[in-house]
Amino acid sequence: MYIQKVLSNGIRVAAERIPYVQSVSLGVWVANGSRCEKKNENGISHFIEHMLFKGTEKRTAEQIALEMDSVGGQLNAFTTRECTCFYAKTLGDYAETAVDILSDMIFCSELSEKTMETERAVVLEEIAMYEDSPEDVVYDLFTETVWGDTPMGRTILGTPESLSNVTPESMREYIRTHYTSKSIVIAVAGSFGDELFELLEKYFGSRSIEHNEVTFENAEYRSGTAVMKRDFEQVQLVAGFRGIDIYD
């Protein structure tokens, strides 16, 4: 059975009961990705994804991991050009643990300067590894060619220069203005009862958050050809073309 609800602060919930499973999966989807970033903050969405796992006002990073492990749960996240998703999977009996931790991470992360400097180095290493991966490099070259010097044409990870601009204060402000009631959707699937919606209201709906729409710069599709010569063992090729409008 498919259920849609809106929490008291405007966050939307989409849920589907699957009666023959014992687990439940929850995803907090934020309509914010690298396409929502300004050039001088490119990579902040992905950087935030990293930082929200690094401790909150009441949990250390280790406690977040151990608490999910203690109930046999899984916790992860990813960032794309168009969205960021934080998700958890656990047995239905421990759904409150997953909801509590996800809410705590998103709304109460500490974002300390010391932790940020450590994690900035991790992201810079990730960028270096990415640039040594030809299948990743060629796709970024493709998007840069198609979308040009727009947020859609830039990398998800950002650059060393743009990441150096990110501070705890700028990250908090970005979360405040981009993690809003109009940009967050909670998706749930699996084994759960009506009490789950009470938990979502308790841990998410009670939060005081902004209600503005997240805006971004539209990018015009451009045709073209780009070649990058690198000392790789293989040749990577990407070909693309304009598709059907999603609203057609």
Active site residues: 49
Name all contacts of 160-167 with Cβ < 8 Å and 24+ positions apart: 160/124, 160/127, 162/39, 162/40, 162/41, 162/42, 162/43, 162/44, 163/43, 163/44, 163/47, 163/120, 163/123, 163/124, 165/40, 165/41, 166/41, 166/43, 166/44, 166/47, 166/116, 166/120, 167/113, 167/116
* Cβ atoms of residues 119 and 50 within 8 Å: yes
> Terminus-to-terminus CA distance in the chain, angstroms?
28
d(CA 159, CA 236): 23
DSSP characters for 117-135? Answer: HHHHHHHHHHHHHHHT-HH
Return the closest-CA partner of residue 18 out of 194, 188, 191, 193: 191
Contact 109, 51 (CB under 8 A): yes
DSSP state, 14?
Answer: E
Residues shown for the chain: 248
